[in-house]
Amino acid sequence: MALMPKRVKHRKSQRGRIKGNATRGNTVVFGDYGIQSLDAGWIKATTIEAGRIAAQQYVRGEGKLYIRIFPDKSVTSTPLETRMGKGKGEPDFWAAVVKPGTILYELSGVTEQQAKVCFARLASKMPVKVRFVARRTA
């Protein structure tokens, strides 16, 4: 099974609106390089997992991969050919809500060129536009 929370406070959440930029989780903290979201959107748990597999296949134990997002929003859908009413559908998939500026993945223990190639593979799987960022040195 893909990533999902063990327990949630409310079974079915409302859609909500994604507005503003990320004020938390917008700097590279754990690794040396990262990819940062430029758009707002939802990233499915299966997409996060696909990105993890693609990155780890490229890195092959050389570096360490950090995933900075977690799918904690349940997205529901009513079955097809169901009439109006009868309540809200069952949870269909789990998604991570991403704002512009959120760091999605980080890498450490690899060269900058290796990180760029790895994140280029990851960027093709993401439903939002991303860019390569390096850790700031103080």
CB-based contact 100:90 (threshold 8 Å): no
Domain that holds residue 65: 33-75+90-134
Domain total in the chain: 1
pLDDT for the residue numbered 82: 86
pLDDT for the residue numbered 1: 56
H/E element, 107 = strand 103-108
Q: Which two tokens stand for residue 72?
A: 């904690």
Q: Please report whether residue 70 resides in a domain.
A: yes
Q: Please report whether residue 112 resides in a domain.
A: yes
Q: Please report whether residue 80 resides in a domain.
A: no
Q: Please report whether residue 110 resides in a domain.
A: yes
| CATH at residue 45 | 3.90.1170.10
Q: Which residues of 84-99 are buried (b: 16+ CB within 10 A; e: fewer)?
A: eeeeeeebebbbbbbb
pLDDT for the residue numbered 138: 66
pLDDT for the residue numbered 57: 92
Q: Please report whether residue 81 resides in a domain.
A: no
Task: Walk along the chain (138 residues) and give the pLDDT tens digit of each residue.
Answer: 578 888 888 878 888 999 999 999 999 999 999 999 999 999 999 999 999 999 999 988 889 999 999 999 999 988 888 888 888 888 899 999 999 999 999 999 999 999 999 999 999 999 999 999 999 876
Q: Please report whether residue 12 resides in a domain.
A: no
